[in-house]
Chain A
Amino acid sequence: MGDNWTTIESDPGVFTELVTEMGVQGVQMEELYALDYESLQAISPVYGLIFLFKWRSEQDDRTAVTESEYLGKVFFARQVITNACATQAILSVLLNRSDIQLGSELTNLKDFTAEFPPDIKGLAISNSESIRRAHNSFSPPQPIVPEESRLADKDDDVYHFISYVPVDGALYELDGLKPGPIRLCEATEENWLKKVGPFIQSRIERYAQNEIRFNLMAVIRNRTGVLEEELASLEARRAALLSTSEEGEQMEVDSGKVSTEDLASIESNIVRVQEGLHEEAAKKKRWHDENVRRKTNYVPFIFQFLKLLAEKGQLQPIIERAKKLPGKD
């Protein structure tokens, strides 16, 4: 494949494995269907948001922040290759966060490119062998040029990705096709999820009018980790409550009542968190299976299956079906 960057599917399972393969720990991607604060809060901590849409040229009068103002504070890279734009958008979030375990590969990239202008940063990303390997690992090793699939299903068009991330006291929009970052508003780690909604919402409304496809992904902390911590703290509280109520036989009746109520709510929270953990495990298993299938070339399988049907005399009805069915156009 050489220098090639293949197109990869915009799917949270794909992006999560991609991030992991780049050496990042404890991060996953989640598709978002709602932008309200409660929905975002439910998957917190959220490291950044990525908006993706079918690219079209449009007027944008906002001015980017000049290089001297953001260099060394905001990681911003110009996009130099189209197919890598998903990877680049994810990196724009990851490399702007100080609270993510990046792994040695990305830490080196971040340090190495820190003082580079944005187009050189973009080049450095596109030249990183390990990032490209992770990115390209999702194309199945099949001999067919997958270009005609674009004709078959027209979904596979030029998609563009924009990142939203809080850095250095402000909320930034990072778009690799712009000359620099766009500073949207002042924001802190605590309030940016409340502020980001309207910015993305206005974009969605603009694209929805023009029937442009889009979706929204969140870069978040691994849910399993979050839920396990929550479970541990709930169990610790339960244990503490149980021990105080045992030794507190002589305590006042009132406070005893309160602790039973607490205990009930803790118990129900424990059940909720455990269910969440089960769901999360099932989802990760599904993502893994899908990724295994994405990386497999099934052409030999299909061919052997059809041969087997031919041997069993079961192919003829399918041939008849193929003759009867209408074509695409």
Chain B
Amino acid sequence: MDLPEPPSRTLLVVQAGISNLVDNKLVADPRKGQIEICLDRFALVYFSWTERTEEGPSQRGPDFSFCIEPHHWVTFELIEGRRVWVLKYPAARQQLFFWAQEPDSGQDRHIASTITEYLNLNAAEEDEPSAAAATDSGVAKAIEALERRIDEIEAQPGHEAPQLPASIIAKHLASMLGSIQVPPQQPGTVAPAAAASSSAPAVDAKALAAALGNISSGRVQMQRAPGPSLADVLTPEVIIPLLHQPGVLERLAPYLPEEHRNEAALMELAASAQLRHQLNVLGSALQTAQLDPSQFGLSPNGYTAADFLESIQKKVDEEGDVADSASR
């Protein structure tokens, strides 16, 4: 009996910890971790949990990982009123609990339904030959199944397509794109998918198919555009003299808290840890494609800090042109 190949294609990563049922009470394991749903080269679905450390997912690999057998139904449900999910795998008599470590509880339900979809990719296939099928057809079949399921969900009247948080879509696309070695500053490949904000369906099947089709092998990595973060560029030394210019306070005052609309408070803000923190968050969100610059009305350009700044310059130049021609 051959051991299954290690899972190699990551479909989804969700931050979650383990909860244990002790004397009928759920006790959260305080470790940080992540759930990964992977496809192996035979298109078998794997569920794994890996501890996260400061450096990211533990180098030891998953703490546990198991394969979902084809034709078996598995559910991943949100427990009402709590940020806890339960995975039920009746065939294997498995019942596992996980507590959400994703920051936004509003997505818990979507995550649950998306994971359920993924875990059941092979559940409905009636006449599947043995898993020792050729690699390529395995992947193709998984994509087919995936597309079919998405179509099914979308076709259901009144059924809202499960919407994944943009951050998770971006993460799993980034992981796929990362593994096919697409540099993130090539916008053509990633932009349409990353732009799939809250209004888009859970998975852009075509983008997924394109990504999966090209995968050779992959490990999950949060892809980050190269170069400095916005916070490294806009340091207090850089911004204080610029904010100090006449007219700047008047122009920016509407975007400041009321009690801080004065020169002294503006200078304090420029040097503050709180602004630094928000620049860091914004910078990281842009560099990891978790924030879509089109939210600011910017045209897609790339994901580095320089790309972001350049597209602001471009937008301002364009607006200037429009204003010029209008005044003519």
Q: Which residues of A contact B (CB under 8 A)?
A: 1-4, 6, 55, 57, 80-82, 119, 140, 142-149, 151-154, 157-158, 160, 177, 289-290, 292-294, 296-312, 314-316, 318-319, 321-323, 325-328
A1→B108 CA distance, assembly (Å): 11
Interface residue total, chain B, C-beta cutoff 8 A? 74
Main secondary structure of the interface of B (DSSP, over half): helix
> Which among B255, B275, B284, B309 is the interface contact of A149 at CB below 8 angstroms?
B284
Given A151-B222, A308-B248, does the pair A325, B272 have CB atoms closer than 8 Å? no
B70 contacts chain A at the CB level, 8 A cutoff: no
Chain B residue nearest in CB terms to A311: B316
A82 and B103 contacting across the interface, CB-CB below 8 Å: no
A142→B243 CA distance, assembly (Å): 23
Task: A305-B239, A321-B238 are known; give 16 further A-B pairs, CB within 8 A.
Answer: A2-B105, A140-B278, A144-B281, A152-B281, A152-B284, A158-B31, A289-B260, A297-B278, A298-B269, A315-B312, A315-B313, A316-B313, A318-B238, A319-B309, A319-B310, A328-B232
B313 and A144 contacting across the interface, CB-CB below 8 Å: no
Q: Which of A57, A152, A319 has the most CB of B within 10 A?
A: A152
A147 and B102 contacting across the interface, CB-CB below 8 Å: yes
B305 and A322 contacting across the interface, CB-CB below 8 Å: yes
Q: What are 20 of the A-B contact pairs (CB < 8 Å)? A: A3-B82, A4-B106, A145-B285, A145-B290, A147-B167, A148-B284, A149-B280, A154-B54, A158-B32, A292-B259, A293-B269, A293-B272, A301-B252, A302-B282, A305-B239, A308-B248, A308-B252, A316-B313, A323-B227, A328-B232
B306 and A319 contacting across the interface, CB-CB below 8 Å: yes
3 shortest A-B CB distances, which residue pairs? A293-B274, A301-B255, A325-B228
Q: Chain A nearest CB: distance from B271 CB in Å?
A: 11
B192 contacts chain A at the CB level, 8 A cutoff: no
A318 and B30 contacting across the interface, CB-CB below 8 Å: no
Could you say which residues of chain A place their CB within 8 Å of the CB of B268?
289
Chain A residue nearest in CB terms to B102: A147
A325 and B233 contacting across the interface, CB-CB below 8 Å: yes
C-beta contact mask, B279-319 vs A, less than 8 Å → 1, else 0? 11111110010110001100000001110011011011100
Could you say which residues of chain A place their CB within 8 Å of the CB of B228?
322, 325-328
B105 and A3 contacting across the interface, CB-CB below 8 Å: yes
B277 contacts chain A at the CB level, 8 A cutoff: yes
Could you say which residues of chain B place their CB within 8 Å of the CB of A311?
316, 320
Could you say which residues of chain A place their CB within 8 Å of the CB of B239?
305
Could you say which residues of chain A place their CB within 8 Å of the CB of B166?
145
Given A309-B242, A310-B316, does the pair A318, B234 have CB atoms closer than 8 Å? yes
Could you say which residues of chain A place their CB within 8 Å of the CB of B32?
157-158
B256 contacts chain A at the CB level, 8 A cutoff: yes
Chain B residue nearest in CB terms to A325: B228
Chain B residue nearest in CB terms to A143: B295
Given A289-B265, A325-B227, does the pair A298, B278 have CB atoms closer than 8 Å? yes
Chain B residue nearest in CB terms to A289: B268
Could you say which residues of chain B place their CB within 8 Å of the CB of A304?
251-252, 255
Given A144-B282, A314-B242, does the pair A308, B251 have CB atoms closer than 8 Å? yes
A325→B227 CA distance, assembly (Å): 7
B278 and A142 contacting across the interface, CB-CB below 8 Å: yes
Q: Chain A nearest CB: distance from B104 CB in Å?
A: 6
> Which among B165, B281, B313 is the interface contact of A146 at CB below 8 angstroms?
B281
B279 and A80 contacting across the interface, CB-CB below 8 Å: no
B259 and A158 contacting across the interface, CB-CB below 8 Å: no
A119→B26 CA distance, assembly (Å): 10
A95→B314 CA distance, assembly (Å): 57
Tell me which residues from 96 to 111 in chain B have a Cβ below 8 Å from any Cβ of chain A.
102-106
Q: Which of A55, A57, A310 has the most CB of B within 10 A?
A: A310
Chain A residue nearest in CB terms to B53: A157
Q: Chain B nearest CB: distance from A186 CB in Å?
A: 31
A318 and B316 contacting across the interface, CB-CB below 8 Å: no
Chain A residue nearest in CB terms to B291: A144
Q: Chain B nearest CB: distance from A244 CB in Å?
A: 48
A145→B228 CA distance, assembly (Å): 20
Could you say which residues of chain A place their CB within 8 Å of the CB of B81?
3
